[in-house]
Amino acid sequence: MRTAIYVIFWAIATAVVVALITLPISLQAHLIAGTIVVGAMILLKFLRPYGVWRLIALGLGTAMVLRYVYWRTTSTLPPINQLEDFIPGLILYLAELYNIGMLFLSLFVVAMPLPRRKTAPPIAADAPTVDVFVPSYNEEPELLATTLSAALAMDYPAGRLTVYLLDDGGTDEKCNADNFVAASAAQERRAALQKLCDGLGCTYLTRERNISAKAGNLNNGLANSSGDLVVVFDADHAPARNFLTETIGYFGEDPKLFLVQTPHFFINPDPLERNLKTFKAMPSENEMFYGIIQRGLDKWNASFFCGSAAVLRRTALQTTNGFSGRSITEDAETAVTLHATGWNSVYVDKPLIAGLQPATFASFIGQRSRWAQGMMQILIYHRPMLKSGLSLPQRLCYSSSALFWLFPFVRLTFLVAPLCYLFFGLEIFTASGAEFIAYVFSYMAVNLMMQNYLYGRYRWPWISELYEFIQSVYLLPAVISVLINPGKPTFKVTAKSEELGTRRISELGLPFFIIFAVLALGVVATYWRIITQPYNADTTLVVGLWNILNLLMAGCALGVVSERPEGRGARRFPVRRRGQISIDGRTAPIVTENVSVDGVAIRVLSKDFDKLPVNSTGEIAFETSIAMPAGTLPVRVVRLAPDAKGLVLGCRYEPSEPLHSRIIADLAFSDAGIWSSFQKARRQNMGVIYGTLRFLRLAIFQTSRGLSYFFGLARLSRSNPGRRAAE
């Protein structure tokens, strides 16, 4: 009853706002009202940007955006009989409408995201049996060993957890391939992994033929296992010990629950983060999704399966014959299918796995192409807006997730639009200077502020645009091809543990330099137009400003495609464990300082090791957090760093048997809390103005770096010996 009253109240408020907004008031009235509304938004942001105030601020923003839409629709389109203006004008208009539509969809999704669940429900006494699937295609055994070890180390009642390695790189098909070299590699791989699994105590599974890619592989796992619940970890996603205790309990609460999804937490930077050096300070790209959007989806029971770090219910999967393999994003497709048949999902906002993400720009683009194409396939095959069985909020949520991937069209339209005027003099946006100031500026200010309200702590200003821009160039053809031929794209595994040894420009970098050059010509054209047509200066200035904004974005992209060298620079986290080290028969007590998946920094509590040569090898033993066979971990000392309190050794693991992997996993993945605190340190809202200034600085610096790479200046500094040593 009260819900009905609130809905009616909301509907009336909406009707009043819409009625006020669609009043054809004068420009002056809009300017004043707009200034007051924007001022109120700014004021609210300083005072209390939470709870009801946040929604009031969003309401104010919505009003301004709607006024912009109203004005844009009623008075800015070029006359239809001037086709050369009208067609590009209409395209730009549609692009803007798409953007605004997406803004409203995301407003719906994240208007009031579900807060993080404080404590997980307890697991019932008769805990359900759990099968862990680690699908693999071409990952190295060392990587798999870590992941499998971490999976085995998860807290769960004994005997109720089985870990499966689902190997698609050693299928019968591969082992019997016509290519002799490939076939023998596959056979070797199968043997090595079988040995690894035997050593660790997990089950190796492979299949006859590589059909339906990852979905087929998982379904093969389903067919050869019987646990109540299924956990999926990508080969490079190592879980923390508490993964199951944080997730399994939900299945006891809701018999119709098919999915508990947890965030993907990455311990290495993506190419943008690495090349722009923002990894330590700036929230990762996916944090906006896992930090807020999934929580928003969760409110509407629409959080979806992301392929890994999730628990699924076998009975649910059985109703749909396992994982759906029609699209190349089997995860979201499975989720939408199950949501449509009445199953529920839960999202746990706590990083419980640590994974790797693509290191190079090329593999980053490859991954994003797969996501974009898969989501387009879902859009085409499943039509989430019309899919029966989904609730209205779920339809909106899935539409929002799928339609998002149309952004390349829009981003490139915005890139080209100002050039239409600067190069060809097309007038595709008819507005006087005064109108432009009154409407466009207020709209842009409101747009930035609304984004900041929605995602402030999770996304810095302009970074979304930058991410979209760097993907658009390559995603546009990918999206177009799938729209033309939805069945064409095939699953490609994303490479993740690549190394970058030298400075170079990504093999996909050239288009960005061309775009930059064209936009720079646009600046020249702006100047030329202002000089030769002083009477058009106001229009030219406004359009030129827009072009310069694009140029800044393109300059930043130059930095992104200019790859910095970095070793397997996995993130180190502070871990304190006691243990002892023995080198050449000498032993000393140690405390670990920090830990990564590659190595460990240890403080030696003895004076004996001061003159230890670099590259000497030794063995370390630690206290472990779970019961496992006692053993030592072989390491190689790569760095000596004496400090005031003693000596710190930088060591690299040299694992040679499964037990070593389990020790590393216990060291590096036992505590998920450190990941949370790492994320938290980056999550701070810097505000629109400071964020914009910071972006400006970044853009200018990255432009020069990208250009210096391009013109080969990088080679001069590469011989710097100090740097080499640091690598």
Partner 1 sequence: MRTRLLHIVAAAAVVPIGSLNFGLQAQEAQPTPPREPAPFMIAPPSQQPPAARPAEPTPQAGPAPTPAALAIPASFAFKPLLPAARVMLEGENDTRSWAFYLTQDEAGADLNLDIAFQNALVVMPEASRLTVRINGERIMEAPIASSDRLKRTSTTIRKGLLRPGQNTIRFEAVQRHRTDCTVASTYELWTRIDGAGTRLSFKNPAQQSRLRSIDDLPAVGADESGQTTIQIVAPGATRAVAANSILAVAQGVALRGRYSQAAVRVSERLPERIRPGVLTVLLGTAKEVRELLGTLPSEAGSGSFLGFIANSRLGPATLLVTGESWPDIEATVAKFLTGPVSRPTNTNRKTMDTSSWHIPDAPFISDRQMLRFSELGVSTQESSGRRMRVRAVIAMPGDFYANAYGEATLYLDGAYSEEVLPGASRVEIFVNGNVAATVPLNAANGGLFQQSPIPIPLRHFRPGINEIWFEAVTQARSDLACGPGATLPGKNRFALFDTTTLAIPDFAKIGVSPNLAAAAGTGFPYSIAAHVGLLMGRQDLPNLGAAATLLARLAQRADRPLPIDILGSAATVGDRPALIVGAAGQLPAGLLPRVGIADNVRNTWPQRADAVVVLPETEGAAVFDAVINRFQGRQTTPEDSGGGTPTTEAIRDRWRGSLGGPLARYFISFDRWLQRTFDLSFAQLRAPTRAPTLYEPAEGAELIAAQATDPDTRQVWTAFVVRQEETLEKAMDRLVTPGNWAGMAGKLTAFRNGQDNHVISADSTTFVMTRAFSLANMRLVFANWMSSNIGIYALTLLGACIGLGIGTFLMLGRLGRRS
- Which residues ranging from 218 to 247 are in contact with partner 1 (CB under 8 A)? none
Q: How far apart are the first and last CA of the chain?
A: 66
Helix, strand, coil percentages for the chain (3-state, nearest 5): 55, 15, 30
The reply to whether 535 sits near partner 1 by the rule CB under 8 A is yes
Output 63 or 267, the one with its CB closest to partner 1: 63
DSSP 114: P
CB 311 within 8 A of CB 247: yes
Pair of tokens at residue 633? 């971990």
Strand, helix or coil at 409? helix
Output 297 or 375, the one with its CB closest to partner 1: 297
Q: How far is the CB of 299 from partner 1 (least distance, A)?
A: 4
The reply to whether 75 sits near partner 1 by the rule CB under 8 A is yes
Task: Give the DSSP H/E element, type plus range, for residue 452.
Answer: helix 442-455
Output 26 or 615, the one with its CB closest to partner 1: 26
Q: How far is the CB of 115 from partner 1 (least distance, A)?
A: 5
Among the listed residues 49, 252, 389, 393, the single contact to partner 1 using CB under 8 A:
393
Pair of tokens at residue 408? 């390349």
Output 89 or 221, the one with its CB closest to partner 1: 89
Cα–Cα distance for residue pair 503/495, rounded to 1 Å: 19
Among the listed residues 45, 237, 241, 299, the single contact to partner 1 using CB under 8 A:
299
Q: How far is the CB of 460 from partner 1 (least distance, A)?
A: 25
- Which residues ranging from 537 to 596 are in contact with partner 1 (CB under 8 A)? none
The reply to whether 119 sits near partner 1 by the rule CB under 8 A is no
Cα–Cα distance for residue pair 632/600, rounded to 1 Å: 14
Output 118 or 607, the one with its CB closest to partner 1: 118
- Which residues ranging from 436 to 495 are in contact with partner 1 (CB under 8 A)? 437-438
The reply to whether 125 sits near partner 1 by the rule CB under 8 A is no
Pair of tokens at residue 28? 């002056």
Q: How far is the CB of 246 from partner 1 (least distance, A)?
A: 18
Q: How far is the CB of 680 from partner 1 (least distance, A)?
A: 20
Q: How many residues bind partner 1 (CB under 8 A)?
A: 59
Among the listed residues 43, 73, 115, 617, the single contact to partner 1 using CB under 8 A:
115
Strand, helix or coil at 621? strand
Q: Write down how long the chain is.
A: 727
DSSP 121: P
Among the listed residues 98, 147, 219, 301, the single contact to partner 1 using CB under 8 A:
301
Distance from the Cα of residue 143 to its chain's centroid: 21
DSSP symbols for 264-328: -EESS--HHHHHHT-TTTS--HHHHIIIIIHHHHHHTT-----SSSEEEEHHHHHHTTSS--SSS
Output 33 or 90, the one with its CB closest to partner 1: 33
The reply to whether 613 sits near partner 1 by the rule CB under 8 A is no
Output 393 or 565, the one with its CB closest to partner 1: 393
Pair of tokens at residue 8? 């009616």
The arrangement of strands across the sheet holding 161-167 comes to 203-205, 161-167, 130-136, 229-232, 310-313, 257-261, 344-347
Q: How far is the CB of 20 from partner 1 (least distance, A)?
A: 5
Positions annotated as catalytic residues are 168, 331
Q: How far is the CB of 29 from partner 1 (least distance, A)?
A: 5
Cα–Cα distance for residue pair 103/336, rounded to 1 Å: 22
Q: How far is the CB of 404 from partner 1 (least distance, A)?
A: 20
Q: How far is the CB of 67 from partner 1 (least distance, A)?
A: 9
The reply to whether 40 sits near partner 1 by the rule CB under 8 A is yes
Pairing of strands 161-167, 203-205: parallel
The reply to whether 62 sits near partner 1 by the rule CB under 8 A is yes
Q: How far is the CB of 433 from partner 1 (least distance, A)?
A: 7
Among the listed residues 43, 47, 48, 111, the single contact to partner 1 using CB under 8 A:
111
CA torsion, points 30, 35, 38, 43, in degrees to nearest 10? Answer: -150
Pair of tokens at residue 675? 């990941």
Pair of tokens at residue 562? 């200019």
Q: What angle do CA 614, 619, 623 make, to 5 degrees?
A: 130
Contact track, partner 1, 705-724, x by CB under 8 A: --------------------
- The residues with which 232 forms a beta bridge, in sequence order, are 133, 310
DSSP symbols for 640-664: EEEETTEEEEEEEE---SHHHHHHH
Output 227 or 384, the one with its CB closest to partner 1: 384
Among the listed residues 502, 533, 677, 720, the single contact to partner 1 using CB under 8 A:
533
- Which residues ranging from 41 to 60 are in contact with partner 1 (CB under 8 A)? 51-53, 55-60
Q: What is the 3-state secondary structure (H, E, C) of 496-559?
A: CCCCECCCEECCCCHHHHHHHHHHHHHHHHHHHHHHHCHHHHHHHHHHHHHHHHHHHHHHHHHH
Strand, helix or coil at 119? coil
- Which residues ranging from 637 to 676 are in contact with partner 1 (CB under 8 A)? none
- Which residues ranging from 316 to 335 are in contact with partner 1 (CB under 8 A)? none
Among the listed residues 13, 182, 510, 696, the single contact to partner 1 using CB under 8 A:
13
Contact track, partner 1, 419-438, x by CB under 8 A: --------------xx--xx
Output 391 or 704, the one with its CB closest to partner 1: 391
Q: Give the binding range for partner 1 (CB under 8 A) out of 19-27, 163-171, 333-341, 503-511.
A: 19-27
Residues near partner 1 (CB under 8 A):
2-3, 6-7, 9-10, 12-14, 16-17, 19-21, 23-29, 31-33, 36-37, 40, 51-53, 55-60, 62-63, 75, 79, 81-82, 111-112, 114-115, 298-301, 393, 433-434, 437-438, 533-536
